[in-house]
Structure 1
Amino acid sequence: MDTATLVFLIVGGLGVAVLAVGLLGGEILHFGDVGADGPVSLEMVAGFAGTFGFAAAIANELIGAGSPGLVVAATAIGVTAAVPAGWLTMRLSRAARDMPTDATPTRTDLIGSLGVVITPIHPGGYGEIRVRVGGQPVKLSARANQPIPLGAQVFVVEAPSDTSVVVEQTPPVQ
């Protein structure tokens, strides 16, 4: 392996490392501002550099670059491979960053939901109920004014905290 190939591999490795930091830890470590990226993002530059380095190293080894002209040819091949890879990296990172998501459920979303008692509720004490929030089953501590037996259907009337509710038993279906 000659010096040019080693340099290309180092550039490719640094590109991959910067891409990993940008995708996985950029916002955690506060590297850059997502709104200040403009047309060129950190992910795009890293994707370009990684692809350029590895493609140029492969080309350099395959053409047996020993002269400066062949190293320039390997560099051109690396740039040719890196331009679409950088563009694709930019598109994919923007799509992931701008992906719409549902709002996070809050305790006000619990009020009015129906649930089932999974641990009996005693007067003045807590039991447990299971409700569905956002389509997912959630187990909550529950209290009520009167005792409610295991398996009874309940209606949430108040949510004093994110993990506890006040319930009333619903009439049995006939």
Structure 2
Amino acid sequence: MPSVDTVQYVATGTLFFLIVGGAGVAVLALALLGTELLHFGGADVDGPVSIETVAAFAGAFGFGAAIVNELLGGRTPAMVAAATAGGALAAVPVSWLASRLSRAARDMHTDPTPTRHDLVGAMGLVVTAVPADGYGEVRIRLAGQPVKLNARADRAIPAGAQIFVVQALSETSVHVETY
């Protein structure tokens, strides 16, 4: 029985396009994860086009061109040129979308970080009884999140009592009164 050797190979153009696509995706991932890749000096050094946009263009271009090149059989320069055009056609909307998404994430409004002054006036419950001469524990809600703090009071407060914060002694301890 004769043996048949089948060797599958990737066209040089396809391999090149895959490398470009992989490099684009790697740079895009680093840029979106906040490593501020290639940001030397000020924040606007990369100019009118962000790193995310260029990386998304390169990634979509490389993978799109590789797909088109394989579909066409990319063995001639004309087919590789057609694959390049197909890659560019795929890359334009992807880079536009990456630009919009990265701008939206960068310009997203966030609430300021709560400080010890935000503790004053908060209401909560005593978790561990607060003795008159020591610390107990209370749980309050700060910016919608439950926070457990050390608490002092002028008089003893039993566990389970409702309290409100009258003074922030530090970032982790408060002075409370019953509600």
Alignment TM-score, normalising by the size of structure 2: 0.89
Report runs of 4+ in structure 1 exceeding 4 Å deviation.
none
Distance in 2 between residues matched to 1:95 and 1:34, nearest whole Å: 16
Deviations 1:96-142 (A, max 9, x none): 11111111111101101112111000122110111111122211110
Task: Between 10-19 and 100-109, report the one with greater CA deviation.
Answer: 100-109
Tell me, yes or no, if structure 1 residue 45 matches structure 2 residue 54: yes
Structure 1 unaligned segments of length 5 or more: list them. Answer: none
Q: Counterpart in 2 of 1:78?
A: 87
Distance in 2 between residues matched to 1:25 and 1:114, nearest whole Å: 37
Q: Counterpart in 2 of 1:164?
A: 173
Number of residue pairs matched by the alignment: 168
Tell me, yes or no, if structure 1 residue 109 matches structure 2 residue 100: no
The residue matched to 2:23 in structure 1 has which SS? helix
The within-5 A match list for 1:88-103 is 88-103=97-112
Structure 2 unaligned segments of length 5 or more: list them. Answer: 1-9
Q: Counterpart in 1 of 2:157?
A: 148
Distance in 2 between residues matched to 1:121 and 1:34, nearest whole Å: 49
Task: Between 46-55 and 148-157, report the one with greater CA deviation.
Answer: 148-157
Identity of aligned residues (%): 62
Aligned-pair CA distance for 1:144: 1.0
* AA matched with 2:76: S
* AA matched with 1:152: A
* AA matched with 2:58: A
Distance in 2 between residues matched to 1:25 and 1:88, nearest whole Å: 18
Distance in 2 between residues matched to 1:91 and 1:139, nearest whole Å: 39
The residue matched to 1:54 in structure 2 has which SS? helix
